């Protein structure tokens, strides 16, 4: 009898149906049952329909598939109501529709459990529900538990890896727990000791991960270079190289800044200059490592340039000597280094066919100048 718009009237009737007064509740329910399905469908689709009405429509029996579908698609429908619908419906297509809204499933995990406990669920609804559960709840809980265990052992840096790393591969798949454990074992620097001010924001675009086929090619390249430099590469080392290089780029940067000597030895050869530069900014890297890196011909010229710019390393003669002899070192960098190279080594460098002609000529001029010729 009230002169109200249809949606307002439905809201009043739903409220009255919940009254403690049996007579009022009964009358309201009768009015709701008498409402036309068309009016209810309009209400189920409307953005201004109250959440109380939408909850009522979602859990009432015999309202028709279109109404249930509309309440599932309406963002204002309470999660608890959809959890009840997911538990009670025998319509597998409705369960699939509920399962497609991953945001709602993450927000309300009881919907996931309702889908998985419903015998009417389809294989597709079950797959979506299980994937969401694994991705947002089981993996997160597993990583948290592992982090707590590592902290209890005093392995703070490894614990931080599990807490903050994206733990995905270049193909978008999650790293297995075994892989993550292996990588965490090679982390020795905590967040408090990491300085990432060397990475300006304009270089963040370089952190986009490469395709899986490129990652596989990088793995083979690194293995071949290590085989040439050190001899046979063990199966354990090959496994570590594969697992590290199939991490996404952001996680490789973190590992480069936080990893131990083994991890640094892999990532300094990374074709992504941001990753390889991160190794040089690892606070645990030693002068002996830098000396070896300065002699490598399998790393980027940017890494060699950064080594030359470091005042501490620039005072180490073995390091600058290796940089001068390395054909990968940028020519301007070598030219600046040459005045600090001993005459005997300059003489050898002037005859070294592996370096550029410009470097050989400049080395020759310096030898002549020092000899007074």
What pLDDT does residue 197 have? 87
What pLDDT does residue 206 have? 79
Cβ atoms 85, 94 nearer than 8 A: yes
d(CA 41, CA 49): 11
Which contiguous run of DSSP H or E holds residue 358?
Answer: helix 357-371
What pLDDT does residue 161 have? 82
What pLDDT does residue 373 have? 64
What pLDDT does residue 139 have? 61
Give which of 283, 276, 346 is closest to 304, Cα–Cα. Answer: 276
Which pair of tokens denotes residue 368? 């002549």
d(CA 158, CA 234): 24
Q: Pick 162 or 292 by higher pLDDT.
A: 292
pLDDT interval class at 3 (50, 70, 90): low
Per-residue pLDDT reduced to its tens digit, 13-57: 888 888 888 888 888 888 888 888 888 889 889 988 999 999 998
d(CA 359, CA 350): 7
Cβ atoms 297, 327 nearer than 8 A: yes
Rounded to an integer, the average pLDDT of 119-143 is: 82
pLDDT interval class at 115 (50, 70, 90): very high
1 pLDDT above the threshold of 60 = no
When mean pLDDT is compared across 113-127, 136-150, 208-222, the lowest value belongs to 136-150
Q: Which of 22-36, 105-119, 191-205 has the highest mean pLDDT?
A: 105-119
Which pair of tokens denotes residue 329? 């070192």
When mean pLDDT is compared across 104-118, 137-151, 175-189, 320-334, the lowest value belongs to 137-151
Which residues lie below 8 Å from residue 200, measured CB to CB, with a gap of 6+?
none
Backbone dihedral region for residue 64 (phi beyond 0: left; psi -120 to 50: alpha; all else: beta): left
- pTM for this model (two decimals): 0.62
DSSP secondary structure letters along 12-79: HHHHHHT-SSHHHHHHHHHHHHHS-HHHHHHHHH-TTS-HHHHHHHHH-TTS-HHHHHHHHH-TTS-H
d(CA 336, CA 344): 18
3-state secondary structure 158-185: HHHHHHHCCCEECCCCECCHHHHHHHHC
From residue 20, alpha-carbon distances to 16, 34, 53, 103, 282 in Å are 9, 21, 18, 36, 68
Q: Supply the mean pLDDT for the chain.
A: 88
């Amino acid at each position: 009898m009230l002169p109200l718009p249809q949606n307002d009237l439905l809201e009043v009737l739903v409220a009255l149906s919940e009254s403690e007064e049996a007579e009022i509740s009964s009358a309201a329910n009768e009015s709701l049952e008498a409402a036309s399905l068309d009016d209810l469908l309009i209400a189920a689709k409307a953005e201004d329909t109250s959440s109380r009405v939408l909850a009522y429509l979602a859990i009432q029996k015999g309202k028709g598939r279109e109404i249930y579908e509309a309440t599932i698609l309406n963002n204002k429908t309470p999660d608890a109501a959809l959890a009840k619908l997911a538990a009670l419906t025998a319509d597998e297509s409705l369960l699939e529709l509920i399962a497609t809204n991953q945001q709602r499933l993450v927000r309300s995990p009881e919907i996931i459990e309702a889908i998985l406990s419903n015998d009417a669920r389809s294989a597709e609804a079950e797959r979506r529900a299980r994937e969401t559960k694994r991705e947002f709840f089981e993996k997160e809980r597993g990583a948290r538990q592992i982090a707590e265990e590592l902290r209890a052992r005093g392995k703070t840096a490894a614990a931080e890896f599990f807490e903050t790393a994206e733990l995905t591969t270049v193909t978008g798949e999650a790293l297995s727990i075994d892989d993550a454990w292996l990588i965490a074992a090679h982390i020795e620097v905590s967040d408090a000791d990491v300085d990432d001010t060397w990475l300006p924001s304009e270089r963040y675009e370089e952190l986009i991960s490469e395709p899986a086929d490129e990652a596989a090619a990088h793995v083979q390249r690194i293995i071949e270079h290590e085989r040439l430099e050190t001899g046979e590469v063990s199966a354990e080392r090959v496994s570590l190289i594969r697992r590290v290089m199939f991490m996404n780029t952001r996680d490789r940067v973190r590992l480069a800044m936080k990893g131990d000597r083994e991890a640094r030895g892999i990532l300094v050869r990374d074709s992504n200059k941001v990753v390889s530069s991160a190794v040089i900014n690892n606070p645990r890297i030693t002068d002996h490592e830098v000396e070896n890196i300065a002699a490598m011909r399998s790393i980027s010229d940017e890494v060699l340039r950064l080594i030359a710019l470091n005042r501490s390393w620039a005072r180490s003669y073995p390091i600058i000597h290796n940089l001068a002899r390395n054909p990968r070192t940028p020519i301007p960098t070598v030219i600046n280094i040459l005045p600090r190279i001993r005459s005997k080594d300059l003489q050898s460098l002037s005859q070294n066919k592996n370096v550029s002609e410009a470097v050989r000529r400049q080395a020759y001029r310096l030898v002549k100048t020092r000899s007074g010729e």
